[in-house]
């Protein structure tokens, strides 16, 4: 650049080169930029790799783990526990995988129970253990009168005992539990009216209602008698034809007799006991219309008095675990025969 006002000395045409046209200058610049771009890009990529920077110059953030790795209630959708941001250690991938599998197993719905198998599959049997060991301490409650259709009767009774104090309620619960195990092994669904899980009762009308509401295919109430010594043997009580108030046994009298006859025959064979010598005329079968548990039942139902707790010889059998197992087998076999199993 010149700083004086004198005109520039003339130059000869031979020494002066005309300026290149504008498009030539831009082409040269474009070539230069194009030549430099790959080099610059490669350098930038290398810088990102070496520095660990992500887009915008920020280091990349670790990804949140899947929901199966969340902790606390959040893993089950409570919403207030956040997902963990800790990255599993490369040295222990198996532990992370196991954690995910365990969490997935915990949240997976339980597999449905396998259908019952056996000759009584699909059948429901209600077992009614007579009385309750707590009845002795709740006499005012069990003395309350309830409607049994034909008249009114006490809610329940204490039951009897052997001369040594073995309670009828203990006996009935033990035989009932043994019977339940045998029936369930054959595929039956077994419902108890009680299982020593209440302080007294239930009342006789509730016992009948439990069988009705369960839509039981058969109901058996387990008892032992308490008459004078010398009276021995078992008997099965069948419902009489009763119609009055809430009681109507017309539909269950026939099937209940079938159930009772089958239980009586199998009970005698299993235990070796004879039918009662003091009632039933040696058949082991008695019909009654004064028992609310039978009057109010709408399902085939019988009572079995397994022996006389007040007779020393019968009591020796009733207090024997081995004999009680035979009693349970006799009752079970009778039910199986009745249900066609």
- For the stretch 149-185, pLDDT in tens is 989 999 999 999 999 999 999 999 999 999 999 999 9
Is residue 163 a contact partner of residue 294, using CB atoms and an 8 Å limit? no
Would you state the pLDDT for residue 215? Answer: 98
Full DSSP string of 257-302: HHHHHHHHHHHHHHH-PPBPSSSGGGSSEEEES--HHHHT--S-EE
pLDDT digits (tens, 9 = 90+) for 239-291: 999 999 999 999 999 999 999 999 999 999 999 999 999 999 999 999 999 99
Integer angstrom CA distances of residue 308 from 97, 177, 235, 311: 66, 20, 10, 6
Judged against a pLDDT cut of 80, whether residue 80 lies above it is answered with no
Name the pTM for this structure.
Answer: 0.68
Is residue 328 a contact partner of residue 175, using CB atoms and an 8 Å limit? yes
Judged against a pLDDT cut of 50, whether residue 187 lies above it is answered with yes
Catalytic residue among 168, 170, 261, 305: 305
To which H or E segment does residue 256 belong? Answer: helix 253-271
Known catalytic residue: 305?
yes
**DSSP secondary-structure letter at 146?**
E
Judged against a pLDDT cut of 70, whether residue 218 lies above it is answered with yes
Delineate the domains of the chain, giving CATH numbers in brackets: 124-339 (3.40.630.40)
């Amino acid at each position: 650049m010149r700083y004086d006002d004198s005109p520039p000395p003339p130059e000869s045409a031979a020494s002066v080169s005309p300026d290149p046209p504008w498009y030539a200058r831009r082409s040269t610049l474009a070539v230069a930029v194009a030549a430099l771009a790959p080099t610059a890009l490669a350098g930038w990529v290398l810088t990102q790799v070496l520095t660990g920077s992500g887009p915008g110059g920020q280091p990349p953030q670790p990804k949140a783990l899947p929901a199966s790795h969340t902790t606390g209630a959040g893993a089950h959708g409570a919403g207030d526990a956040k997902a963990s941001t800790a990255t599993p250690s490369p040295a222990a991938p198996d532990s992370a995988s196991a954690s995910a599998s365990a969490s997935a197993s915990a949240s997976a719905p339980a597999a449905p129970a396998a259908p019952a198998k056996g000759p009584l599959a699909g059948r429901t049997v209600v077992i009614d253990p007579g009385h309750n060991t707590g009845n002795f301490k709740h006499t005012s409650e069990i003395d309350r009168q309830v409607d049994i259709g034909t008249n009114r009767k006490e809610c329940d009774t204490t039951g009897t005992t052997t001369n040594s104090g073995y309670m009828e309620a203990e006996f009935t619960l033990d035989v009932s539990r043994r019977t339940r195990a045998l029936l369930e092994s054959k595929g039956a669904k077994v419902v108890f009216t009680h299982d020593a899980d209440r302080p007294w009762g239930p009342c006789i009308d509730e016992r009948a209602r439990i069988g009705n509401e369960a839509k039981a295919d058969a109901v058996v109430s387990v008892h032992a008698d308490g008459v004078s010594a010398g009276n021995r043997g078992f008997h099965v009580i069948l419902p009489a034809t009763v119609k009055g108030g809430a009681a109507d046994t017309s539909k269950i009298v026939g099937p209940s007799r079938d159930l009772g006859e089958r239980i009586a025959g199998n009970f005698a064979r299993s235990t070796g006991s004879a039918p009662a010598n003091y009632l039933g005329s040696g058949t082991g079968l008695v019909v009654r219309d004064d028992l609310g548990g039978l009057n109010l039942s709408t399902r085939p139902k019988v009572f079995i008095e397994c022996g006389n707790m007040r007779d020393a010889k019968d009591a020796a059998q009733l207090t024997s675990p081995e004999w009680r197992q035979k009693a349970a087998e006799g009752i079970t076999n009778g039910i199986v025969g009745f249900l066609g199993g």
